[in-house]
Each structure stands twice: as structure tokens, then as C-alpha cells.
A and B are shown apart, each in its own frame.
Chain A
């Protein structure tokens, strides 16, 4: 799994490439924590995300709680299925 961070003022884009599972999820958590406190909104670019498990979902909730605004973009149908099963689609701003 590869994580790419792009900071633009108070906005940050985190792109996840690969599998977000129990073993790799902590990397996403770490990447989010490394963001400066000035960051107000975070965008998770999931265009290259191939897989997500509950561990990944927990990291999303954690990020959601730590920033003012969280958007998730470019979600594939497969990942969207998982969001639906967990009700994330109702609580998160998914575009």
C-alpha cells in the first residue's frame, strides 16, 4: 500500500493506493496524525484503493473525528459496497 499526501493551505488530500487492511491501516492513521493542526479539511482520494477492511474503516472514523471536514472521493463500487454495509455512506461525505 502506498499513501500520498498533498497539502494545499488548510486542505490536505490523502491518496491511498492498494490494500487497506489490518496490517496496512496504521499507516493511514499515522499519515493523518502527521498533518499539521492547521488543516481543516481532509480529502481521502480512494481512486486507487483496491480493498478495505474494518481496520481501514476505523482509521476513516478516526480521521473524521480529528478534522472539521472529511470528504471521500473516487470510491469504487466494491469499496462503496463496504461503506453501505457499515452505514458509512449515510454519515460521510462521499463524492
Chain B
């Protein structure tokens, strides 16, 4: 059977049919036992009543016969050859009315004695015994005279059973008053039925009845079970199968349940069909949605990687005359912060920082556009304000999303330390001199807002070891767990003691990260720092005005050495000579402090000239024409070395500024 196979698959499952069968069996058993008990009682009463009526009828018949035979006494004397004797009549009635015993007696109420006249039994052997033992003249004393016997003696008929269990067996009986008299007393008739016969008959009737009831019940139940199986169990089984196949196949359920039934089961099947269709469609929709989401995620990931290429997380540049470090944490998401740094030529480096409005891909796209424009225009060599204004014009010409960008762009002259910058609505940078402070700038309007952004170029000169930190508002607007801003003061404090770009970026980054204090979400955090180191070597023009740069470089290296002015004097004499006589087009000057010795080198492409060549000594009066310079140099310098190489004069000198 189908059910059995499903039971094998899931042994714990029990068919509804089996449960129904058990329930029906229990119900049948209970109802049979109940109906048996009820019908047993009813039957007993009925059979007993029937016996009473029988014996009542027998008593009336006997009374009638006795009357016709001339009373009891007369009847007792009737010749048995022609007619039935009293005993024969009584026995006839006894058999006819299905009684066990019949007895005629008179009651001596005073002595509580039965005076028997005649006793017969339906059974032949019993009859012989009772005829002798309870024959005419037998007096039996009765201790507990039954009320119904007394009532009968007074002519009253009573259906009360007199139940007896004596040597004649277990019987129930009644006593009837007859109209006849014997020896002056009313004749009473006792009629006894066998209790056992009564009970057996009751039982057999009840059993017959119960068996038929049982058969009917079983047949009805069988029919009901068949109907239930067809109308309920089997459809429910099919629904169950369908549901299992639905869940096993993760909603891929093609087959519909076909149940043509307008009951709840039909409704369930129909609802299941609709539901499985809906779920199937939802699963398909969901899968499609997942695919779209995955694609979007992959694209966002690619965008993030592209952005990491455009704005790397870290940048470290360390050259002789400058160092640049940058940090951008857009690694977590695509955003609008950017920095940039690139060399414009041998002696100019450009640094840019910017923050684009908005978030996500939109901001990133706009950022890349702005960054590319900035780099392109900065390379063409115009000054920062011109570049920012030009970029602003281009953005304003077509800006459908009304995006804007704050930008700070600066160009550092690697020879002089002069920083040319322009600010389009960006945070003021931190300037590192003796102590960090905010660089005050003429802040223009962010790019993309108005056509006239009013951005101007400004200048600040960085000394040796001075630096600048550019940052986005992700730094100052970082919030702690109580939503307090990081702010300017904390930024300046974090910058204290920083002497190079890498240290500055790391100090600020870790300070801001500490400030977040375990917050999962970081805003974009971008910064770039540049520190300037006076170069050990400068390219100068052969003009006396360039002397100030030579002095600067000597000062930078000699610091506060007491004899630095003598070094300056010697260098001035040499440089004046080069400017005045050599015809050089360019001069390179380098200066380096080494173990308290200041070493300087002049290289020029002028005509060969060795300052060590002995000169004719001049008279004091002629000295206004010159001639003291080289003598001074020879006296001041501890060592002088001249070389001519590759068309250049190379003059090396060594001084002791601390002597």
C-alpha cells in the first residue's frame, strides 16, 4: 500500500487512518459494553415482568378451574380416572406458564405458618419430591413472613418478588390470592420461576441483541472509514506528499495537487497550490535580486580598487629637499576625498588635497574628474589660483548634479622653500614652524558653486625643517562615542613635536583613530603632509642678487657658528668674481657642515679661472681697484682646491666656523 511505503521512509509518522481505526475500535468497544450493560438490565426487567404476568395468568386460570371443580376440597376428591386431578392441573399450568414450582397453601398469620395444600414442580423428579415434602397437610413455619404474602392473604395482589434460595434451588416468585377457601382460610397460590432460567434467558437475549448491534456498528464504522479514507485521509496524504516534495526540492514544485472537493481539504489544496506558486515566484525573484546585488557589490568593489589606485592608501616620498607622506582610508568604501602629489619640474612639487560633496560612486566619479583636471592644469605651469579658477569654470559649465569640491592646492619651490598656494573652501592647513599653527589663508568658495570663486594665490616661505599638513574634515569632524568632534585643538596638539611628514601623518592618524575609540564606522580620513629641507645644493644665476640665497644656505648649515660671516665673506668674494669676470651662465653652490667643518663648492660654466694662481701684490692706494678678494679667501679658507672638469670650474673650500 502507498501508506506503508511512506511509513518506511519516515517511521515516526503514523497514518491518520490507523489512528482513526484505533479510535473506531475503542468507540465500538465502549459503545458495545455500554449497550450490553443497558440491555442486560432492560431485558432482565422485561423477562421478569413477563414471568410475573405469566404466573398471574396461571393463578387466575387455576382459580377459575378450582371454582368450577367445586372448591379446593372438592377438587382434591375428584377421581383422577375421568378428569385431571388438582396436581395434574397445576403441573400442566406450571409447564404451560414456564414456572418451576406452583404451590397452594393457606396462611396461619397468627403462628406465621404455611399450611400447604398442594405443591408441584415442572421437573418430573422435583415434582415427586415436592409432592411428598410439601404435600397436603404440611405445615412449614416461616420466621420472616413476607409482607406481600400477608397482603395476598388479605386479597391484595402485589407484584413484589419474593426471592428465595433453599434446598429447592434459587427461585424468584410471587404469591397470589385465590377466591377459593380451604378449611376456612383463603387459598394462596405461590408461583416460582427459576432465577437461573430467568438469568440465562436474559443473557442470551442480550447477547443476541448485542451481537447484532456490534455487527451493525462494525459495518457502519467500516463504511465511515472507507469514506473518511477516500475523502480525508487520502487527499491529506497527497497534500502532505506535495508539501514534503516542496520543502525537499526547496520550493521547486512543479506538480499541482488535484483535489476536486469543496470542503476545507479542497480549500487547503487550492491554497497550497497558490502558496507554492507564490513562494516559487518569490524564490525566483529573490534569486534575480541576489544576482543584481552581487553584481552591484562586485562593481562597487572594482570601483573601490580603482579608487585605491587613484588615491592610494599611503604615500611616502623622501627626497633630499623634501618629504611627502599621505594617508587615505577610503579603503573601506568609495568616497570623495582625494590627495595628489607630483613634481612639476626639477625644483617644484605640487601637493593637492580635496573633498568632494556627497558619498559613494557619485562622489568618487566627480572626485576623479576634479583630480584629473587639477593635475592636468597644474602641469601646464600656471599658478594655483589660476588653476583652481579654471577648474571651477569647467565644473560650473556642466554640473548637472550640483556637486562641489573643496580643494587646497600648493606648489613648493624645492630650492627656496617658497610655498605658493590657493584655497577653494578647504580647511586651513597646519603650518609647522617652531610650533604647529593654522596657516591663515584667503579662503575662496568651493569649486562648482559659483562661477566667480574668488580664489587667490598666496605665499608662505618654508624654512629648513618647516612643514605643512593638509587634511580633510574627516580629521576635525571625527566623533567619539559621545558624538563630540575631534576639533582643531586636538589636531594642533597631535601635531606637536612632529618634525617630518611621515611622523606627522602617523601622529594625526593614530590620534584620530584613538579618538574614535572603537567606533566601527569611520568617515573618510585623508591627509597629506610635506616637509621642506633646505637643499645642500642650489642652482643660482650669476647675479649679485643671488648672494642672499648663498648666505641663506650657509646660515642653514652653519646655524649659529661664530665664524659663519667669514665663510660668507669668502663665498661672496668668489661669487662676485664669478659674476663679474667668468661669463658663466649658471652657478651651482653647495654647502655642508661636516664635523665642525663647513665645506662649500662653487661650480660654474664660465671661463677657466683658478683663484689659487698667485697674484701680483698691489699697493694700498691701488686697492680701490680691487685685488683684495682672493687674498681674503686664501686667508679665511682652511683648504682650497680648484679643478676644471667637463667645461666647469669646481672650487672646493673648507672653513672652520667654530674656530
> Which of A54, A78, A81 contacts B626 (CB under 8 A)?
A54
Closest to A21 in B: B572
Q: A54-B629, A58-B626, A86-B632 are in contact. List 16 more A-B contacts (CB 8 A).
A: A21-B572, A22-B544, A22-B547, A23-B547, A51-B568, A53-B572, A53-B573, A53-B629, A55-B576, A58-B624, A65-B621, A78-B565, A82-B569, A85-B632, A86-B623, A91-B620
CB-CB < 8 A to A7: which residues of B? none
> Does A57 belong to the interface (CB within 8 Å)?
yes
B569 touches A53 (CB 8 A): yes
Q: Which residues of B contact A52 (CB under 8 A)?
A: 569
Would you give the 0/1 interface string for A33-64, flagging 1 where the beta carbon is closer than 8 Å to chain B?
00000000000000000111111011101100
Chain B residues 531-546 with CB under 8 Å of chain A are 544-545
Q: Are A61 and B547 interface neighbours, CB within 8 A?
A: no
Is B572 a contact of A61 with CB atoms below 8 Å? no
Residues of chain A at the chain B interface (Cβ within 8 Å)? 21-23, 50-55, 57-59, 61-62, 65, 78, 81-82, 85-87, 91
Contact yes or no, A51 B628, CB < 8 A: no
| Chain B residues within 8 Å of A91, by CB | 620
B545's nearest neighbour on chain A, judged by CB, is A23
Enumerate chain B residues within 8 angstroms of A54, measured Cβ to Cβ: 573, 576, 626, 628-629, 632
Q: Mark B561-602, 1 if CB is under 8 A from A, else 0.
A: 000011011001100100000000000000000000000000
CB distance from A52 to the nearest CB of B (A): 8
A21 to B629, CA, bound (A): 12
Q: Tell me whether A21 and B547 are in contact in the complex, defined as CB-CB below 8 angstroms, given that A55-B576, A58-B626 are known contacts.
A: yes
Contact A22 B623 (CB under 8 A): no
Q: Is the interface of A mostly helix, strand, loop or mixed?
A: helix
How far apart are A44's CB and chain B's nearest CB, in angstroms? Answer: 15
Asked if B635 is at the interface of the complex by the 8 Å CB criterion, the answer is yes
**Nearest CB of B to A35, in Å:** 16
In the complex, B255 has a CB within 8 A of chain A: no
User: Inside 8 A of B629's CB, which chain A residues have their CB?
Assistant: 53-54
A12 to chain B minimum Cβ distance, whole angstroms, is 19
Determine the chain B residues whose CB is within 8 A of the CB of A62 once the complex forms: 624
- A86 neighbours in B (Cβ, 8 Å): 623, 628, 631-632
- B binding-site residues for A, Cβ under 8 Å: 544-545, 547, 565-566, 568-569, 572-573, 576, 620-621, 623-626, 628-629, 631-632, 635-636
| A-chain residues with CB within 8 Å of residue B547 when the two chains form the complex | 21-23
Contacts of A81 in B (CB 8 A): 566
Q: A22 contacts B620, CB within 8 Å? A: no
Task: Please name all residues of chain A whose beta carbon is closer than 8 Å to the beta carbon of B631 when the two chains form the complex.
Answer: 85-86
A85 to B623, CA, bound (A): 14
Instruction: For the complex formed, measure the closest distance between the CB of A84 and the CB atoms of chain B, giving whole angstroms.
Output: 9
B545 engages A87 (CB within 8 Å): no
Q: Which residue of B lies closest to A81 (CB)?
A: B566
Closest A residue, CB atoms, query B636: A85
User: Could you show 8 A-B contacts with beta carbons less than 8 Å apart?
Assistant: A23-B545, A50-B565, A51-B568, A52-B569, A65-B624, A78-B565, A85-B631, A86-B632
- Interchain CB contact (< 8 A) of B628 among A21, A23, A57, A65: A57
Task: Decide: B569 and A87 in contact? CB cutoff 8 A.
Answer: no
**A87 proximity list for chain B (CB < 8 A):** 620
For the complex, give the distance between the alpha carbons of A71 and B138 in Å.
200
**Bound complex: CA of A70 vs CA of B547, how far in Å?**
30
Chain B nearest Cβ from A81, distance in angstroms: 8
B545 CB to closest chain A CB (Å) equals 7
- A23→B621 CA distance, assembly (Å): 22
The 3 closest A-B pairs by CB, nearest first: A61-B624, A54-B629, A62-B624
For the complex, give the distance between the alpha carbons of A91 and B623 in Å: 12
